[in-house]
Structure 1
Amino acid sequence: MVFSYELTVTPVPSTPTSDADRTFYWHDAHSHRYFRANYGPLLGGLGAVNDRNIDLVRIAIAVLAADRSSLRSGRLSNWNQRDISVAVEVLAASPWRTVQPELEKLLGFLTGDIWRFTFREDAGGPEQIATVGLGATRVVLLSGGADSATGALLSAVDLASRGEQQVLVSHWASSNLTPVQSRVAAAIEEIAPGTTADHVKVLLARGRHSPTGKAYGKENSTRSRSFLFIALGLAVASVHKVPLWLPENGYASINPPLSRSRRGSLSTKTTHPKFLGDLISLLASVGAHHDLVNPHAAETKGEMFQRVRELLGNERASKFLSDTWSCSHTGQKSYGIPASVACGVCFGCVLRRASFHASGLDDSTPYLVPADDQQTAWVKEKSVVPAMSDFLRDSFGESDLAKLQLPSSIALADALELCRRGREELQGLDL
């Protein structure tokens, strides 16, 4: 079965046909129930964005919308590989047709699926060009997670020493996340005053229903979400022709699977060195802005936390990091669990807990304590703790590392040492 979709920048027809059930209409900078956005498809509100980076954002949101709409079957290692076809309206089709095989392979590596693209040309309606972050020398992605918050903070302190500024870029689809992003951005500005030239918060998401009223699919295993986040950051960076920082600890980026059942779509690869390297190469070949770097690729999460501790002291560092959000699970409202309470047992939560422990910082994150049988069952289903405990008991050597498709530019000995330190932090949590 092939899942087929298209992204168009044309208005919704007055009488939508059945084709509208597989079409994502991004026509303007206004939110509709079928497509939510606060920027138009030319990204004029971000400034004079490089044309190919405009195209990249369109491709990325089409991929995420299709990913979310195409239901998987099975669980863990039995999850199916989907076959997804996406038609995207871009400013120029020829450059993307030239790299189509590479793009399809890149997305296949990211999500574990088969991707097929076609490209058509449509600029969309004219948009006013805004001025965002004038004079900034760096753009930093700020998701609201602990790694991005740490990276943005350390970047701000670095820039403050030179009298320079950065633009923070956040993406959101859930209103639960925006207060976290705003709170972290405000804390960074308080610690390093005058270093935030702008905090750009982009709403860009497929709605729940198509224009005909039919519900889109609701697939929760979306591994393409951060692809859109990177595309948006590069769009802003292209305006100023400056680097984009994508802060992520190197252990999670290498992403050793916890078990044989946690490969493919269960393990995100958005900051994997191979994915980033291939993406940079692809963008360079089409003329898109591609100055992208992970400044913490050689550090564990605990080591990143330790740097915040050294900068702020124990109490301030604990508060700053505890105010971030790392939980990867959604849907807890159905079980009477507040959105502000983290599950404590997903990979993001467990790695976060281990990092607080390794850095000697107090963790005041509100983690779930199940109050009934339903919540207990939900936690048991979501928990990676049993798989992680097995993973930490097993040895992990160069032969295991060689299976992770690291680029030749990374020495296996260095990557193995990074994994040793990351595993040591997890073992310190006493799972």
Structure 2
Amino acid sequence: MKINVEINPAKNGQFSETFLCQEINGAQKKVQLNIAHFHSLYDFTKETSSTGFDFFLIAAIVYGTDDLLARKLYSYNGWTREIEIEFPVNNIDYWEPAIPQLEETLNFLTGDTWSIAFRQLEVKVLYLPKKKRWKSKIPEYNYSHIEFVSLFSGGLDSLIGVINMLNKIDNDNIGLLVSHFDPAYNGPKKDQNLILNEFYKNFVNRYKHIRATIGISQTYTNGDEITRDTNQRSRSILFIGIATYLLNKVPSSNTILIPENGTISLNHPLTKSRTSSLSTRTTHPYFFRKLQESLAIANLNVSLINPFNLDTKGKMVVECDNTVILQKTYPLSVSCGKRGHKTHWENRNAKQCGICMPCIYRRAALHKRGWDTDTYGNDLLSIRSIKDAKPDIRALFDYLGTSISLKDIKRNLLVNGSIEMSDLDAYAKLVHTSRVEILNWIRDKGNDQLKEILKIR
């Protein structure tokens, strides 16, 4: 599927109207890629011409395209899509040499085949600040006092990562927390706000928070409805694109912190059928490495760091630097990967499904502190028969109930994504430890029938 990107001159107080255009059954259709409330970013950067801005725009277009092209409509094998796109950029001479690396990065991230090119961005005025704004509404930033830049999603992992950094920050310095909000998936914004309300009480004057609002419209411009893909695999590159754009103004660091437990980053497959492109790779070490290579070729010196790449979620919870604040805020965070799919939830008032792998890792991790008390849409611990279990849970039971060696884990990790051989032993031990965390949680809290299914004594 070929996607054409149309960018029109900016209007007062708005980012340039941006459209993703495609041909469907001989007819041209386009959908708006909304980059709303851009002033929150522009107030910090004061520019739209840098290579960092280019990458922000590239990442936003990738995210919008990924959401627009539903796999059930546009894949040739039920999963993989062929996507052809030309990105408009200011600094084309920097980006053209990065095409092979960036294609490989996107292919790995989304499991598709991307064919990309670049063209000169002809629109010169991409954002027009409002002519009348109260000065008190325009934030001021002391860039030299920004000690770190971290992604802040509203999940438990990013919560712990930010708590650790804010807990040890120097009095005069601050952290910059970077978030994203898509109106079509509005849960994370509420999570972020609830946590920030607590941070405001406990970390006074220690951070600034900037949130970008980006997502495609609900319909094409002709009014036809859009079938979204909803997997959001490319959300991580959008997060990184936002942070890279802001990082241009930070003189003290070239690092973006991306807090994520190492187990979910590696995403060791539960079954052989879930290897390769079917396995999520949003924070996989290989994705980070290839993206850094792409950015370096484009003359962007950005270091992507996951401080928990060798930690299980349980270790993160137990070793958090400020247990008091974590205990106040962890119930406000959401880890669920299927929060919007409540059709089969027994408790639809819950915030999290309880049976996706992020939920399972969360519950097992919180159990290590005695904090596994949240309400979930479904309770894995109450399953009494394998017949009652949905396919995802059966896959989990197969994984937990089958003996697996470190050698097996290493082989699976290599099949699922390119791992540096020097890291392979440590990553295999990490997967083994996370598996033990789940089994210990079930051993301590599961019913007898569940323990019998998994042969737990």
Instruction: Output the TM-score relative to the length of structure 1.
Output: 0.83
Q: 1:394 aligns with which of 403, 408, 411?
A: 403
Matched, 1:179 2:190: yes
In structure 1, the partner of 2:85 is 86
Deviations 1:201-259 (A, max 9, x none): 11111111122222233112231111101111121122214221110111111221111
> Whole-Å Cα distance in 1 between the matches of residues 259 and 64 of structure 2?
25
Note if contact 2:104-2:290 (Cα within 8 Å) is conserved in structure 1. Answer: no
Whether the 8 Å contact between 2:177 and 2:210 is mirrored in structure 1 is yes
Task: Measure, in 1, the Cα distance between the counterparts of 2:117 and 2:340.
Answer: 34
Aligned residues of 2:181 and 2:188 also touching (Cα < 8 A)? yes
- The CA distance in 1 between the partners of 2:341 and 2:59, in whole Å, is 27
Q: Would the aligned equivalents of 1:111 and 1:264 in 2 still touch at CA under 8 Å?
A: no
SS at structure 1 position matched to 2:149:
strand
Partner of 1:125: 125
Secondary structure of the residue aligned to 1:297 is coil
Paired residue type of 1:317: L
TM-aligned CA distance change 1:240 to 1:321, over 3 Å: same
* d(CA) in 2 for partners of 1:43, 1:9: 19
Larger C-alpha radius of gyration, 1 or 2? Answer: 2
Q: Which amino acid aligns with 2:57?
A: R
1:172, 1:201 within 8 Å by CA — same for their partners in 2?
Answer: yes
Tell me the residue number matched to 1:6. Answer: 4
Superposition deviation, residue 144 in structure 1: 0.3
Match of 2:447 in 1: none
The separation in 1 between residues aligned to 2:432 and 2:235, in whole angstroms, is 29
In 1, the alpha carbon distance for the partners of 2:105 and 2:29 equals: 23
Cα 1:335/1:253, change in 2 over 3 Å? closer
Give the counterpart letter for 2:151 in structure 1.
L
Q: 1:226 is matched with which residue? A: 236
Shift of 1:131: 6.0
Within the alignment, does 1:169 sit opposite 2:178 as a pair? yes
Question: Do the aligned residues in 2 keep the contact of 1:298 with 1:418 (CA within 8 Å)?
Answer: yes
Q: Deviations over 1:376-406 (max 9, x none)?
A: xxx965x632212212223042333333444
Structure 1 position 416 matched with structure 2 position 428: yes
Residues 17/178 of structure 1: CA separation in 2 closer, same or farther (3 Å cut) = closer
State which of 120, 140, 152 in structure 1 corresponds to 2:162.
152
Q: After TM superposition, give the deviation of residue 368 of structure 1 in Å.
A: 1.2
Alignment pair present for 1:107 and 2:89: no
Match of 1:209 among 211, 219, 231: 219
Gaps of 5+ in 1: 27-34, 371-378
Paired residue type of 1:228: L
In structure 2, the partner of 1:71 is 70
Is the Cα–Cα contact under 8 Å of residues 51 and 288 in structure 1 kept in the other structure? no
Q: How high is the sequence identity, in percent, across the aligned residues?
A: 25
Whole-angstrom distance in 2 between the partners of 1:21 and 1:324: 41
**Alpha-carbon distance between aligned partners in 1 of 2:349 and 2:237, rounded to the nearest angstrom:** 24
Amino acid at match of 1:44: Y
Separation (CA, whole Å) in 2 of partners of 1:283 and 1:36: 22
Shift of 1:116: 1.1
Aligned to 1:256: 268
Structure 2 Cα separation of the partners of residues 298 and 24 of structure 1: 41
Query: Are residues 380 and 55 of structure 1, via their aligned partners in 2, closer, same or farther at CA, if it must alter by over 3 Å?
Result: farther
- Distance, in Å, in 1 between the alignment partners of 2:100 and 2:188 is 35
Distance 1:92 1:339 in 2: 49
Q: Tell me the equivalent position of 1:62.
A: 61
Structure 2 residue 48 is the aligned partner of structure 1 residue 39:
no
C-alpha distance in 2, partners of 1:181/1:321?
A: 11
CA distances 1:256-299 after superposition (whole Å, capped 9, x unpaired): 11112223454221221111111112101111241321111121
Shift of 1:180: 0.9
In the alignment, what sits opposite 2:13?
A: none
1:188 pairs with one of 164, 183, 199: 199
Deviation of 1:330 after TM superposition, in Å, equals 4.6
**Distance in structure 2 (CA, Å) of the matches to 1:251 and 1:132:** 38
The answer (yes or no) to whether the contact 1:250–1:418 under 8 Å persists in 2 is: yes
Give 1:324 deviation, angstroms: 0.2
Which AA in structure 1 matches 2:87?
V
1:137 correspondence with 2:147: yes
Q: How many residues align?
A: 400
Normalization by structure 2: what TM-score?
A: 0.79
Q: Find the aligned partners of 1:327 and 1:24 in 2 and give their Cα distance.
A: 29
CA contact (8 A) 1:250 1:298 kept: yes
| Segment drifting more, 128-137 vs 167-176 | 128-137
Question: Quick check: 2:178–2:209 contact (8 Å CA) kept in 1?
Answer: yes
